[in-house]
């Protein structure tokens, strides 16, 4: 019995794994990405992926496209880093032309993504600006459509997440900014996108596990994510008769600079994501296939859905 337990606990060398199961062994989700060993670290908001330790995996070396979004034209907000960057690279490798929106101070991160889109042989459009700024917010979608020659995918993904210990510490200004970036902008951008979209177009919103399991230190952020779920279900019903589908992705803990730039208490960074059933944080590249699925015709009967990619935490 003891011997058996010992054997089971030892990882088997590849040579001992039958050829037909060897690929599956490499795909074990609990070990698919290396141990994080993330140190305690800080960056001012919004921070840069390229300065994050370890650098989040946005799929530069790993995402392989299958042509599932051939000829599509997509705008992705927050497309410079983290989840949005992984989606931008995946969409380009699936055959889409891609515009990314991001804050001007994120240009270094954006440049990596723009280059990857061009390397995939697709058109890359850079739209730096601040979603707090009304002129930018009300013009960015039209500018994307103009430069892409149309628009049939909008990914509302930009997000602000700053922890605060107590309600007394949380200012109205922060609440307003979090709501403006995370949810209010979705109304403005989605409305503008409808002018360009026809049947077959898709909108994908980024929500969060925080919509269901609100962290007491994220009173503003978590509330925006619940609102995004309701917005998605309502707009999904409104637009389905027009052939436009609206869905959302709800990531769990994903290693991005959002967490490093005051998205988490500092002492939580070294063990971030380890409390999930999978036992580790997700990487941005692991979110991308959900966004590809929801944007592609493969999901033609999926409307108003929130697809959870959270390492196994149960959701309603
Ligand atoms: P990220 O920091 O890489 O991306 C967020 C992006 O939002 C930034 O790159 C920035 O371009 C954009 N943004 C923020 N404020 C802006 C403003 N005022 N104007 C314009 N753009 C602005 O982090 P991420 O984790 O990839 O976040 C992407 C989305 O995923 C967010 O909506 C976030 O809430 C959501 N999310 C993240 C996690 C996680 O664990 N990382 C979990 C669930 C949901
Ligand atoms: Mg960024």
Q: What is the pLDDT of residues 267-314, one digit of tens each?
A: 999 999 999 999 999 999 999 999 999 999 999 999 999 999 999 999
Best of 49, 184, 258 for a ligand 1 pocket test (most atoms within 8 Å of beta carbon): 258
Reported as type and span, the H/E element at residue 205 is: strand 202-206
User: Which tens digits make up the pLDDT trace of 94-106?
Assistant: 999 999 999 999 9
What pLDDT does 30 receive?
Answer: 85
CA distance linking residue 40 with residue 70, whole number of Å: 41
Of residues 9 and 30, the one with the higher pLDDT is 30
* Mean of pLDDT values over 22-41: 80
Q: What is the pTM of this model?
A: 0.93
CA dihedral over 232, 237, 239, 243, signed as positive or negative:
positive
User: Which tens digits make up the pLDDT trace of 104-148?
Assistant: 999 999 999 999 999 999 999 999 999 999 999 999 999 999 999
Dmax (CA) for the chain in angstroms is 70
SS3 202: strand
Confidence of residue 2 (pLDDT cuts 50, 70, 90): very low
User: Which tens digits make up the pLDDT trace of 35-78?
Assistant: 888 999 999 999 999 999 999 999 999 899 999 999 999 999 99
Q: What residue segments make up the domains of the chain, in order of their start?
A: 38-308
- Does ligand 1 come within 6 angstroms of the Cβ of 151? no
What pLDDT does 33 receive?
Answer: 86
Distance between first and last Cα of the chain: 40
What pLDDT does 3 receive?
Answer: 36
CA distance linking residue 44 with residue 53, whole number of Å: 14
Nearest ligand, CA 286: 1
Distance (Å) from CA 209 to ligand 1 centroid: 14
What pLDDT does 11 receive?
Answer: 47
CA distance linking residue 255 with residue 153, whole number of Å: 25
User: Which residues have C-beta under 5 Å from ligand 2, the single-atom ion?
Assistant: 46, 80-81, 106
- Does ligand 1 come within 6 angstroms of the Cβ of 282? no
pLDDT exceeds cutoff 80 at 16: no
Best of 130, 159, 225, 285 for a ligand 1 pocket test (most atoms within 8 Å of beta carbon): 159
CA distance linking residue 270 with residue 266, whole number of Å: 8
Distance (Å) from CA 260 to ligand 2 centroid: 11
CA distance linking residue 122 with residue 181, whole number of Å: 28
What pLDDT does 23 receive?
Answer: 56
User: Which tens digits make up the pLDDT trace of 155-167?
Assistant: 999 999 999 999 9
Catalytic machinery residues: 221
- In 3D space, the residue among 301, 56, 291 whose CA is nearest the CA of residue 309 turns out to be 291
User: Which tens digits make up the pLDDT trace of 192-234?
Assistant: 999 999 999 999 999 999 999 999 999 999 999 999 999 999 9
- In 3D space, the residue among 271, 310, 258, 252 whose CA is nearest the CA of residue 109 turns out to be 258
Top CATH class of 38-308 equals alpha beta
CA distance linking residue 170 with residue 217, whole number of Å: 9
What phi, psi does 249 have (nearest 5°)? Answer: -115, 135
pLDDT exceeds cutoff 60 at 5: no
Nearest ligand, CA 56: 1
């Amino acid at each position: 019995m003891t011997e058996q337990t010992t054997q089971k606990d030892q990882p088997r060398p590849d040579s001992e794994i039958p050829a037909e199961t060897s690929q599956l062994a490499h795909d074990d989700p609990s070990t698919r990405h290396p141990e994080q060993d993330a140190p305690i670290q800080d960056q001012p908001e919004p921070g840069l992926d390229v300065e994050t330790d370890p650098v989040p995996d946005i799929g530069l070396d790993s995402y392989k496209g299958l042509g599932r979004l051939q000829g599509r034209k997509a705008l992705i907000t927050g497309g410079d880093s983290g989840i949005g960057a992984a989606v931008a690279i995946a969409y380009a490798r699936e055959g889409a032309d891609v515009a990314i929106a991001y804050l001007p101070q994120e240009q270094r991160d954006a440049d990596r993504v723009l280059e990857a889109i061009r390397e995939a042989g697709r058109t890359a459009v850079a739209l730096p600006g601040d979603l707090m700024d009304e002129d930018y917010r009300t013009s960015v979608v039209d500018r994307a459509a103009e430069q892409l020659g149309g628009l049939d995918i909008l990914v509302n993904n930009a997000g602000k997440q700053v922890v605060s210990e107590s309600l007394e510490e949380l200012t109205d200004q922060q609440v307003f900014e979090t709501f403006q970036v995370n949810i209010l902008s979705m109304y403005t951008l989605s409305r503008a996108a409808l002018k360009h979209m026809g049947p077959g177009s898709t909108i994908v919103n980024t929500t969060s596990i925080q919509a269901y399991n609100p962290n007491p230190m994220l009173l503003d952020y978590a509330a925006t994510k619940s609102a995004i779920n309701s917005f998605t279900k309502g707009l999904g019903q409104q637009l389905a008769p027009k052939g436009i589908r609206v869905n959302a992705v709800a990531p769990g803990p994903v290693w991005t600079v959002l967490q490093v730039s005051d998205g988490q208490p500092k002492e939580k960074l070294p063990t971030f994501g380890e409390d999930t059933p999978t036992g580790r944080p997700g990487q941005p590249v692991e979110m991308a296939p959900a966004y590809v699925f929801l944007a592609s015709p493969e999901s033609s009967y999926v409307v108003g859905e929130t697809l959870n990619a959270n390492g196994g935490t149960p959701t309603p």
